């Protein structure tokens, strides 16, 4: 075998090995996660208990966690975004940026594998852009799904979102062990591909990103709690 052929084989092996080494951090889907503050704050001692709109919980690649432990969060890089962050992506538990630091360290450093998200400013600004484009609050209201003492069928909520956006959301609830007759709406995920086009979310019950939440039971009425 010639030296050139051997070199080509070695290069090919290195490329394959490199691809396998990177595979745990490759992703194909982004999950824009909204949570309903009233439900979240019924489970946690919140600093902001009276937020009246769906807020961002996170912008999560479907693969990878803590992809770069040396890439520290720096709020000065998103200083122009902070007014919108405080309203649309608030830390409900504390009056600090600890929540954003966590989201960047755990998810943003993995999302940054994409050139379109390879800085803190790109990551947070893209999440905010998609959040405002979706405008989940307005869409639910458009279909007369509003926080109230009434109960909704799962199909009402899913069909409203799917009918408007054209893709299936992942709708999550808090399930009461004391009352199996209803469940409380808590979190809604809407998914995008790597080019930020909408696509169906998988109803994977093994991961919700929020303790206490799980995929809503399709057959149990849903409570959408008002303040």
Token readout for 202 is 């998988």
3-state helix, strand, coil in the chain (%, to 5): 40, 20, 40
Confirm whether 14 is domain-assigned. Answer: no
Q: How far apart are CA 140 and CA 138, in angstroms?
A: 6
Confirm whether 9 is domain-assigned. Answer: no
Q: How far apart are CA 10 and CA 15, in angstroms?
A: 9
pLDDT in tens, 147-177: 999 999 999 999 999 999 999 999 999 987 6
**Total of domains in the chain:** 1
Q: How far is CA 44 from the centre of its chain?
A: 19
Cβ-Cβ contacts under 8 Å for 103 (sequence gap 6 or more):
58, 59
pLDDT in tens, 53-68: 999 999 999 999 999 9
**Residue whose entry in the numeric block shows the structure tokens 């989940």:** 136
Mean pLDDT of 26-35: 94
Confirm whether 146 is domain-assigned. Answer: yes
Token readout for 91 is 């830390």
Token readout for 210 is 């929020």
Confirm whether 153 is domain-assigned. Answer: yes
Q: Which residues are catalytic?
A: 57, 103, 107
Segments forming the whole domain that contains residue 138: 25-223
pLDDT at residue 96, as a whole number: 80
CATH number at residue 182: 3.90.730.10
Confirm whether 86 is domain-assigned. Answer: yes
Strand 198-199 to 183-193 pairing: antiparallel
Confirm whether 32 is domain-assigned. Answer: yes
Query: What are the two backbone dihedrals, phi and then psi, of residue 190, each rounded to the nearest 5 degrees?
Result: -130, 135
Confirm whether 17 is domain-assigned. Answer: no
Q: How far is CA 114 from CA 89, 190, 195, 225, in A?
A: 22, 19, 10, 37
In DSSP terms, 190 is beta-bridged to 32
In DSSP terms, 159 is beta-bridged to none
Confirm whether 185 is domain-assigned. Answer: yes
pLDDT in tens, 78-135: 999 999 999 999 999 887 899 999 999 999 999 999 999 999 999 999 999 999 999 9
Q: Identify the three-state secondary structure at position 190.
A: strand
């Amino acid at each position: 075998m010639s030296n050139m052929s051997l070199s080509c084989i070695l290069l090919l092996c290195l490329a394959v090995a490199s691809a396998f080494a990177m595979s745990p951090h490759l992703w194909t889907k982004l999950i824009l996660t909204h949570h309903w503050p009233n439900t979240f704050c019924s489970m946690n001692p919140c600093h902001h208990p009276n937020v009246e709109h769906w807020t961002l919980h996170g912008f999560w690649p479907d693969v990878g966690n803590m992809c770069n432990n040396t890439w520290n969060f720096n709020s000065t890089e998103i200083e122009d975004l902070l007014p919108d962050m405080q309203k649309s992506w608030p830390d409900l538990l504390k009056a600090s940026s600890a929540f954003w630091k966590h989201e960047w360290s755990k998810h943003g450093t993995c999302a940054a594998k994409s050139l379109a998200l390879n800085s803190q400013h790109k990551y947070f600004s893209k999440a905010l852009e998609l959040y405002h484009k979706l405008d989940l609050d307005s869409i639910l209201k458009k279909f007369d799904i509003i926080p109230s003492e009434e109960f909704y069928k799962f199909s009402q909520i899913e069909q409203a979102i799917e009918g408007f956006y054209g893709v299936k959301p992942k709708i999550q609830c808090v399930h009461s062990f004391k009352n199996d007759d209803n469940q409380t709406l808590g979190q809604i995920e809407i998914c995008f591909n790597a080019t930020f086009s909408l696509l169906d979310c998988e109803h994977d019950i093994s991961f919700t990103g929020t303790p206490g939440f799980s995929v809503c039971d399709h057959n149990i009425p849903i409570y959408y709690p008002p303040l």
